[in-house]
Structure 1
């Protein structure tokens, strides 16, 4: 890529400098470009409030990473594919919660207990389950979960459901990269024990968190298929053990599975 101001050649300083200030400027350039749709260097720099040389260095770094594209014939910059992929991930997350919210409200109305939706996301060298939506039940009992919080893979129904959707080798790596904290005397604290529980989830199609994260709390979790048939999320219902007794598990499981199927249909999964 030659310098778009017409002088030709590759400018010095094309490598991205470090620091938070540089990141802030880079994001301001990307946002300016998103607003402009496509524009020459001078216009992008003006919109971002930067000098042309600084804007160019940032644009070139963004171009190298695929967040910006540059057309040599016209000299115009535009948002690149990787920026689109970030936006698509945002859209997918919102599509998931939009599809799940009404069915989760119906589930809570049916059972009178709190429902949670979680997805798998990268965390350090491994993975973690993260709650992306919650509908609280009418009972005046505050559970340990909240939207945005993470759930331990080894000590949560949603964590085991999400791991069960991955190949066994990947599930093992994720557990080996995780600190298997003993939250209660019921918590599985070895990789082999957790993998055995994940294998049971694969076979049975649901997970039970039986006071593994918090004493006195039981949880039933089921997978939610996406449009492609792959597991897009895990749906769970949590309640005190006094209300979610072993005898009540089949009723809670059936209700959760029905809700998961309805969410899958909303996501475009035809076989749900």
Structure 2
């Protein structure tokens, strides 16, 4: 019977040793399930979670029941489970915090390149800007923090998707469509995948008048970021020339590496605390 199975699973879990990390095993498992749900697109069945995590069904059912009660997961009418609305508030707060941590690095980019610096994350199928430090030039680019754009027309979008499997990229583009923001916007999946191949080869992404005419952006991913993140500079095409690109890209890459190390150090400090 379900009741006796759950009771048996609970007794088995209670008898297990504490987590190797010294933490609470049930919490680690719950967060692992949430991450697996996110990786699967936000909606899964219990059998899928059991197959991917290796946990027995009764244990997963008990953890999911708790997550549902807390609002972090909801059960659909088809009995599958989806990420719940309470995660939105956590995600928004985490995005703002990540943007706050990034601001000193963006300020350094502005000092060393002279152009507006941005940080963006991939949120679902969209790119969201979480931080910006404006250029000191009277003619400068401005993107409102919190603004959402589609990945196919931006440098940060290319940087964020550069390592994604081609099938996932095609699926994302099919969901969003590829509307033309300008006459230079890439509007076909094949064209976008070719652009990602160029990004992999060059080590940086370019938005060459693709989101807005007269504006050129250079972007790189933040390596090993806890969530896909990219930083960029944007400025008038007349200033962000090919010659300027050769000077700016190494600065972008160095700042991205330094930001990555800072985020890793912060995460390690929190774990020790």
Instruction: Return the TM-score normalized by structure 1.
Output: 0.63
Listed one character per residue, the Cα deviations across residues 155-190 of structure 1 (whole Å, up to 9, x for unaligned) are 100011111132211111111112312222211111
| Counterpart-to-counterpart distance in 1, 2:70 and 2:154 | 36
Residue pair 1:164, 1:171 contacting (<8 A) in 2 also: no
Select the residue among 62, 65, 68 that pairs with 2:68: 65
Mapped pair 1:261 → 2:257: yes
Change (3 A) 1:85 1:110: same
Q: CA deviation at 1:252?
A: 1.1
Mapped pair 1:248 → 2:251: no
Name the residue aligned to 1:33. Answer: none
The size of the alignment, in residue pairs, is: 192
| Counterpart-to-counterpart distance in 1, 2:69 and 2:225 | 27
- For the residue of structure 2 that corresponds to 1:267, the secondary structure is helix
- For the residue of structure 2 that corresponds to 1:237, the secondary structure is strand
Change (3 A) 1:257 1:106: same
Which aligned segments of 4 or more residues in structure 1 are displaced greater than 3 angstroms?
82-92
Mapped pair 1:206 → 2:204: yes
Select the residue among 147, 154, 159 that pairs with 1:149: 147
Change (3 A) 1:63 1:161: same
| Counterpart-to-counterpart distance in 1, 2:179 and 2:228 | 26
Mapped pair 1:121 → 2:123: yes
- 1:68-217 to structure 2, matched below 5 A, reads 89-90=91-92, 92-122=94-124, 127-143=125-141, 145-217=143-215
Where structure 2 has 5 or more consecutive residues not aligned to the other structure, the ranges are 1-64, 73-83, 267-273
Identify, as 1 or 2, the structure richer in helix: 2
Where structure 1 has 5 or more consecutive residues not aligned to the other structure, the ranges are 1-61, 70-81
Instruction: Return the TM-score normalized by structure 2.
Output: 0.63
| Counterpart-to-counterpart distance in 2, 1:99 and 1:238 | 20
Structural RMSD (CA): 2.8
Q: CA deviation at 1:227?
A: 5.3
Change (3 A) 1:175 1:83: closer
